[in-house]
Structure 1
Amino acid sequence: MTFPVLAVAQFQSLRGELEHNLAGHMAFMRQAAEQGAEYLLFPELSLIGYEPDIARECAMTASDARLAPIRSLAMQLKLVTTVGVALKGVGDKVHVGALTFSAEGEVIAYAKQYLHPGEDAVFSAGSTDCFVPLGERTIGLCVCADFGHPEHVKRLAAGHAWVYAASVLISPDGYEHDATLLQAHARRHGLPVLMANHGGPTGGWASAGRSGLWNEAGEWVGGLEGAGNGLVIATCQPQGWQVQVIRL
C-alpha cells in the first residue's frame, strides 16, 4: 500500500503584497512537486499575511482571477494545494479562509470556524467542516484557533480524516502550549497532525516557525527548527512516518 506524500510550506508573507506572495507560493509548489509531494499546506492567511486591518480590502472569492496561476499550477503539477486567504462571504462578511486547489481544477473553500479573541472585529466565523480529497484518502483541514476546540478535531476524526492539517500562526510564546494541544489531538484520535506556521513576523506577531508533523501516536517526527522559509516533506513508510527538511 502506498500513501500520498505530504508537504508543509513555512513561508514568510509580505504584508498585503499579493503579487510577491503568489510568486513565492508558486515557487514552493514547484519545489514540493520536485520532492514528489501530492499535497501542500501553507500557513494561515499566507497570501496577504496575518494582517486583519487590511483583510477586508484584500478579500477575494474562490473564483478570483488573480488566483488562476495557482489553480493552473496545481493542475500541472498534480499537487493539491491549500493556501490562506481573506475570503469574501455572504453580504459584507469576510472570513479567515483557506482555499484548496485540486489536481483536477476544483477549488474548495473553507472558513475558519473558531476565531481567536479580537478577530471577530473583522472576521465572521464559518460553520462547515472541510475534508479535502487526496486520492483514496481525505485531509481534515484546520485553521489555527480551530484546533483549540476539541470538538473540531473530534468531528474530523469521526469523518475518517487521514491527517489533520493545521494552517496556523503560532508565536514563540504560544508554541509549547499549542504544540501540546496538537500532540494530544494526534494521540487521542490516532490522527497524524501536519502543521504549517509562518516563516517570519506578520501582523505585529513573531512566528515560532517549527512547522512539521506529529504521528498518530502524538510523537514529533520532525520539522523545521525555528523560523525562516522552508519545506517539510512527510512520507508514510511501512516503518512509520519520515520527514525531510529543505531550507529555501
Structure 2
Amino acid sequence: MSAPVFAAAQCAVRAGDINSNLMLHMEFMRHAREHGVELLVFPELSLTGYEPALAEALVQDIDSPLLDPLRQLAQEVSMTTVVGLPLRLSSFEKPLIAAFVIHQDGSLGVYTKQHLHLGEEQYFSAGGGGDLLHIADTRIALSLCADFSQPEHPSHASEQGAQLYAASVLIGETGYPHDSVLLQNYARHHGMAVLMANHGGETGGWSAAGRSAFWDERGRCVAATQGTGNRLLVVSKRQNNWHGFETSVPVVPVAQQSALRR
C-alpha cells in the first residue's frame, strides 16, 4: 500500500477572471504531480475568487464545459482535484457555493456549502454538503469555510468515518488565530487529520492570510505555508507519521496566458 500524498493549493486569483484562474489551477496541478499528489484541494470559490456580487454572472451548471481542461488534465496526471465555483441547480433560487470534485478518471462530483456566513444569503442559497471521498485508502470529508464554524459539521464527518477533513476557506488576518485554533482542536478532539487550503491574496475585498496548514490526528501542526502567495502545501503519511513541506508555484504572466489562449 502506497503512502497517501495530499496537498493544499494556496492560490492568489484574479477577481472574476475565470480564464486566468483556470490557467493558474492547471499550473498548480502540474506542479503537484511532480510531488506525487493524489488529492489537490483549492480554496473556496477558487476559479472566480470570493466575489459574491459576481456570483450570478459567473454561476456554472454542474456539467459546465468550462471544467473540461481540468477534467482532461486530472486524467493525465491521475489526481483528484477540488476546485471552487458558484453552482446553478434548478431546485435552488440562488447560486450555491460549490466545490467541484474532479476525479482521476475525469468524472465529476460536487459538494455544496451547508452553512453560510452572515450576508452570504443575499447572493447564495445554502446547500446540502456531499459524500465522503475515498482516496489512497483514506476517507475524506470536504468543508467550505463557514461549514467548519459549526461544530456539528466536523463531528458528523468524524461519525461517518472520515480520516481527513479538507477545508477550502477564505480566512483573513483578523480571523486566522481563532479559525486555525478551531481546526486544530477539531483534529485533536476527533482524531481526524485536517487540511486547510486558504486563498493566497486579496479577494472580494478581503486580504487573505494565506498560511494554509495541516494538522495531524493529535492536533500537531505538521506543516504550514509561510504567509501569502501561490504556494503548494504537500503532506504525506509514512510509517503512521505525517510529513509535510511547502513549495512555491511558478506563475505564467497574464500577457503570456493570453497568448496561450489564442
TM-score bucket (shorter structure) = over 0.9
- Consecutive unaligned residues of structure 2, counting only runs of 5 or more, are 250-262
Instruction: Work out whether residues 38 and 136 of structure 2, in 8 Å CA contact, stay in contact via their aligned partners in 1.
Output: no
Distance in 1 between the 2:167 and 2:129 partners?
16
Q: Please report how far the alpha carbon of residue 195 of structure 1 lies from its aligned counterpart in structure 2 after TM superposition.
A: 0.5
Please tell me whether residue 120 in structure 1 is matched to residue 158 in structure 2.
Answer: no
1:178-211: CA deviation from partner (whole Å, max 9, x where unpaired): 0011001000110000000001000000000000
* Contact 2:3–2:136 (8 Å) recurs in 1: no
CA distance in 2, matches of 1:173, 1:181: 14
Q: Name the structure 2 match of 1:95.
A: 96
TM-score by length of 1: 0.97
User: Which stretch shows the higher mean deviation, 111-120 or 101-110?
Assistant: 101-110
Give the conservation status (yes or no) of the 8 Å contact 1:229–1:247: yes
Q: How does 1:2-81 map to 2 (within 5 A)?
A: 2-81=2-81
How big is the shift at 1:239?
Answer: 5.3
Q: Residue 161 and residue 239 in structure 1: after superposition, are their counterparts in 2 closer, same or farther (change >3 A)?
A: closer
2:192 aligned partner, one-letter code? L
Stretch deviating more after TM superposition (124-133 or 41-50) = 124-133
Q: Which residue of 2 aligns with 1:164?
A: 165
SS of 2:49's partner is coil
Distance 2:70 2:183 in 1: 29
Unaligned runs of 5+ in 1: none
The one-letter code of the counterpart of 2:24 is G
Q: Is the 8 A contact 1:129 1:156 kept in 2?
A: no
Root mean square deviation of aligned Cα: 1.1
1:236: how far off? 0.7
Moved more, 33-42 or 90-99: 90-99
Measure, in 1, the Cα distance between the counterparts of 2:132 and 2:229.
29
Report how far residue 233 of structure 1 moved. 0.7
User: Aligned-pair distance for 1:176?
Assistant: 0.4
Question: Matched residues in 2 for 1:125 and 1:227: separation?
Answer: 29
Aligned residues: 248
Deviation, structure 1 residue 89? 1.9
Runs ≥4 residues deviating over 4 A: none
Structure 1 counterpart SS, 2:111: strand
The aligned counterpart of 2:135 is 134
CA distance in 1, matches of 2:234, 2:131: 22
Partner of 2:144: 143
